[in-house]
Structure 1
Amino acid sequence: MRRFTGLVTLVASAALALTACTGGGAAPAPAQSSGGGSGKLSGTVKFQSWSLKNETFSPYFEALFASFEKETGVKVEWLDQPGEGYQEKVLAQANSGSLPDVINLPPDIAFPLAKAGVLLDVNAADSSLASTFVPGAWEAYSYPGLTGTFGIPWYLGTDLSWWNGTELKKYGVDTDKLPTTNEELIELAKKVGTESKGKLPVLSSMPTIDLFSSSGVPVMNDAGDFVFNTPQAAAIVDQFRDAYKAGGVPPEALTGDFGGNADNFKAGKVAYTTATSTFATDLAKNAPTIAKGVIATPRIGDAPLFVQGVSVAANSANKDAALAFAKYLTNTANQVAFCKIAVGYMPGTVEGSADTASLSAGVKDELQLKAIGIVVESMKTARVLTPVQWTGAMKTYMDQQLALALKGEIGSQEALDKIVKYANTNKVE
């Protein structure tokens, strides 16, 4: 068994733990078709979720387990781990050879396990699965240097662009022609910063790896090396520097003291943010005055894809039943039923993510309904923008160097060269 010492650094951020998810009502009945396993299934499988055993989601899972057992004869033993320390818990299970049969894993946590050979290649186990799922989500579980796919997409998220139309109009912005590229967004920040004399920043963060990726900058090559120190990326940093000087980016953004973009937007401190479709409800509740003038548009550039999925342990003692349950949990009907409770998230299947009527059932807020429609469309091309090899330490170093570049203390190209060198030197192999 390969040990995982040091690999915790690979899982610095978890995409979509639902620790803060809210919902309610009776759980929808699970679908009655597992579509998996060959031959007669029997026994028990252990399924581990991530902070989902609670009054909101437990009824759904209990009904799903009962339905699966009735159809297949296989019992499901449900394990649920708290949100805090989930990565470390999973790595400890892998180290001790005690991974559950089916494990809730986002791509970044699945990556070191796949490298160590402890996850089943689900594409090899069932090649028909790939066409069922949103392409970007399926591809999220394939990694540079590894052959295979090591997770089945379960539920997905993405961001939209949100604009404070009321405030932007005060500074001559045509809100019918809002930016559709990141370059246009940064130019708008420069314009509004200048017009407002810094009173209305548009942006509240420095460039990120996601921003480069969504702008079409190659972030990694096929060999797994970071390569985003390109003239195109340097030009983006130059634009940010100019916007910062014009007041389009507040000084606090360079120190990390400005808080979250969405919180600043709700407080009227910035004119633009990104957030999920549920942000409309948040605005109506916590910033009703601002909400009246808010405009939602598709995420600028490539839409980011946030993925949660399930993986099957390669050494499962009941592998056929484990794979059958993983497929059952993630089939379209069961995913749609789950996302009706976890409002704002999208099913991982192509068919489910396009089911606008089901996903918007019961939603009355017009802004949120529009946002859900945008998300459904975005899912067709959304992709994971941050490589799983990108760590928290790399982000910290990047922020430090870009802060110097935006202040004009070092050049943009020099900053990017340093960041890429640091990232490649500190990759965990």
Structure 2
Amino acid sequence: MRRFTGLVTLVASAALALTACTGGGAAAPAPSASNSGGALSGTVKFQSWSLKNETFSPYFEKLIADFEKETGVKVEWLDQPGDGYQEKVLSQAGSDTLPDVVNLPPDIAFPLVQANKLLDLNAADPSLASTYVPGAWAAYSYPGITGTFGVPWYLGTDLSWWNGTELKKYGVDTANLPTTNEQLIELAKTVGAASKGKLPVLSSMPTIDLFSSSGVPIMNDAGDFVFNTPQAAAVVDQFRDAYQAGGVPEEALTGDFGGNADGFKAGKVAYTTATSTFAGDLEKNAPTLRKGVIATPRIGLAPLFVQGVSVAANTKNKDAAIAFAKYLTNTANQVAFCKIAVGFMPGTVEGAADTKSLSDGIKDELQLKAIGIVVESMKTAKMLTPVQWTGAMKTYMDQQLALAIKGNIGSQEALDKIVQYANQNKVS
């Protein structure tokens, strides 16, 4: 499925593992008048993605009741399961039954924008732009298309997680861990050689996110993929050297590896990236290993994972739909939501900076440190993978990079093939 599916699941599973107050603070008053000055009325349908459950339902029920009381607008809450969500949304759009307000990450929103199924919210209310985290607001604008087609709701980003206990055994100064991808790959080479391959640091091949966070341009203004650069080839060359030194396990190249976070929890690799909820995951599934774990900011640019809500272009109640989208995503309601979904961040500028509210009641030092890192990272985080990048492109990229890292083809040749394939198969 698409990139954000895992994050939606993670929100739900992380929240279910915690006990939290669903009240979460007073919400800002709902708008009681439309942008055109008339009173709000009627009904709007709101669709969420796998959030109607014992953890989140009380939160939404109260939020909707408060909005209805303030505005007189009736909200019909729909929820779709996690699996098959994109297919469901595309079917709704194709049959003109898209709900008035719908939970969409930027990549699932993209084909709907291309088909003119979503409302340009920047044109509808230009004041919105200054309310939300800049990188998250920009995530709903697409190359060659004028407008912004969603408002940010809850956000996430990755941190770097290190097995400090094991790294120290091979002479690594854990007070000065890598801060660049080049340093990270060099560390993998060094530790791989020193441990004779017993402690790989890396557990995945280069990704679009890695290239992007290293400063490699991914697409040009014309919408073509252009990351087959000497800089990207040098990154692949470094991976090849690290692999040969034992710094990257064979499973990472064959696709048999269960995932870098799983490998980290099992003690098979010394480094992983994960959201701040990983602190709780470690406490539950790897408490002994957790004692020596170190959290630092994501190396290079921090990726931005965005969930938001959009308004259907054919809504029969535009003013009420926009009013509910704004109310759902205002600072008070977003902070309250993120207190339940610990580890995720509000999509408003004010909410994302509210470190005290987001960490209130948390005693665990590793979790507190992780939240602090996320708050700081959110100031510059951005979406690193273009919405045009597909699962098929990633599969082809993995195949070619595996050949390059094994030394069967050159790094530049592999990148040229990947870029050619991506440009031939992109949706324009």
3-state SS of the aligned residue for 1:310? strand
Unaligned runs of 5+ in 2: none
CA deviation profile, 1:368-420 (whole Å, cap 9, x unmatched):
10010000000000000111000000000000000000000000000000000
C-alpha change, 1:364 and 1:158, in structure 2 (3 Å) is same
CA contact (8 A) 1:107 1:307 kept: yes
SS for the counterpart of 1:197 is coil
1:215-242 superposed Cα distances (whole Å, 9 cap, x missing partner): 1100011111100000000000000000
Q: Residue deviations 1:185-214, cap 9 Å, x none?
A: 000000000100100000000000110001
For 1:20, the equivalent position in structure 2 comes to 13
Once residues 280 and 34 of structure 1 are traced to their aligned partners in structure 2, the CA distance between those partners, rounded to angstroms, is: 35
C-alpha distance in 1 between matches for 2:20 and 2:245: 50
Cα pair 1:304 1:384 within 8 Å, conserved: yes
What is the aligned partner in structure 1 of residue 34 from structure 2? 37
- Tell me whether 1:342 sits opposite 2:335 in the alignment: no
1:83-94 correspondence to structure 2 within 5 Å? 83-94=82-93
1:143: Cα distance to partner?
A: 0.4
Cα distance, 1:278 vs structure 2: 1.5
Q: Match for residue 245 of structure 1?
A: 244
CA contact (8 A) 1:26 1:59 kept: no
Name 1:110's counterpart in structure 2.
109
C-alpha root-mean-square deviation of aligned residues, in Å? 1.2
Contact kept, 8 Å, 1:30 with 1:63, in 2: the verdict is no
TM-superposed deviation, 1:16 = 2.8
Deviation at 1:268, TM superposition (A): 0.7
TM-score by length of 1: 0.96
Instruction: Give how far 1:33 is off.
Output: 1.7
Question: Which stretches in structure 1 are left out of the alignment for 5+ residues?
Answer: 1-8
Change in Cα spacing, 1:56 to 1:75, as seen in structure 2 (3 Å) is: same
| Residue matched to 2:284 | 285
Secondary structure of the 2:322 match is helix
Amino acid at match of 1:37: S
Distance 1:19 1:27 in 2: 14
- Higher mean displacement: 211-220 or 20-29: 20-29
Kept in 2: contact 1:134–1:348 (CA 8 A): yes
Q: How has the CA–CA distance of structure 1 residues 30 and 84 changed in structure 2, closer, same or farther, with 3 Å as cutoff?
A: farther
Report the Cα distance in structure 1 between the residues aligned to 2:246 and 2:221, rounded to whole angstroms.
Answer: 39
Q: Specify the alignment match of 2:381 in structure 1.
A: 382
1:257 paired with 2:256, answer yes
Q: Tell me which amino acid in the other structure corresponds to 2:13.
A: A
Structure 2 distance, partners of 1:375, 1:97, is 38
Q: How does 1:12-411 map to 2 (within 5 A)?
A: 14=5, 16-17=7-8, 18-21=11-14, 22=16, 23-28=18-23, 31-35=27-31, 37-38=34-35, 39-411=38-410
2:132 and 2:354 map into 1 onto residues whose CA distance is: 14
**In 1, Cα distance between equivalents of 2:99 and 2:60:** 17
Measure, in 2, the Cα distance between the counterparts of 1:127 and 1:215: 33
What is the CA-CA distance between 1:121 and the residue it aligns to? 0.5
Residue 33 of structure 1 aligns with an amino acid whose one-letter code is: P
CA distance in 2, matches of 1:15, 1:209: 17
CA shift at 1:30, angstroms? 5.0
> Does the 8 Å CA contact 2:295/2:370 hold for their aligned counterparts?
yes
Q: Secondary structure at the match of 1:249?
A: coil
Tell me whether 23-32 or 399-408 shows the greater mean CA deviation. Answer: 23-32
The percent identity for this pair of structures is 81
Q: Deviations over 1:154-211 (max 9, x none)?
A: 0000010001111111111111110000000000000000100100000000000110
Give distance in 2, aligned partners of 1:218 and 1:266.
33
Q: CA deviation at 1:258?
A: 1.2
Q: What letter corresponds to residue 70 of structure 2 in structure 1?
A: E
**Letter aligned with residue 311 of structure 2:** V
Asked if structure 2 preserves the Cα contact closer than 8 Å seen for 1:152 and 1:309, the reply is yes
8 Å CA contact 1:14–1:109 kept in 2: the answer is no
Per the alignment, residue 5 of structure 1 pairs with none
The 8 Å contact of residues 281 and 365 in structure 1, kept in 2 or not, is answered as no
Cα 1:12–1:171, aligned 2, differ >3 Å: closer, same or farther?
Answer: closer
**How far apart are the structure 1 equivalents of 2:342 and 2:76?**
26
Q: Deviations over 1:21-52 (max 9, x none)?
A: 42444421551423473220001100000010
**CA drift at 1:421:** 0.2
Structure 2 distance, partners of 1:348, 1:32, is: 15
Distance 2:199 2:106 in 1: 37
Conservation of the 8 A alpha-carbon contact between 2:20 and 2:339:
no
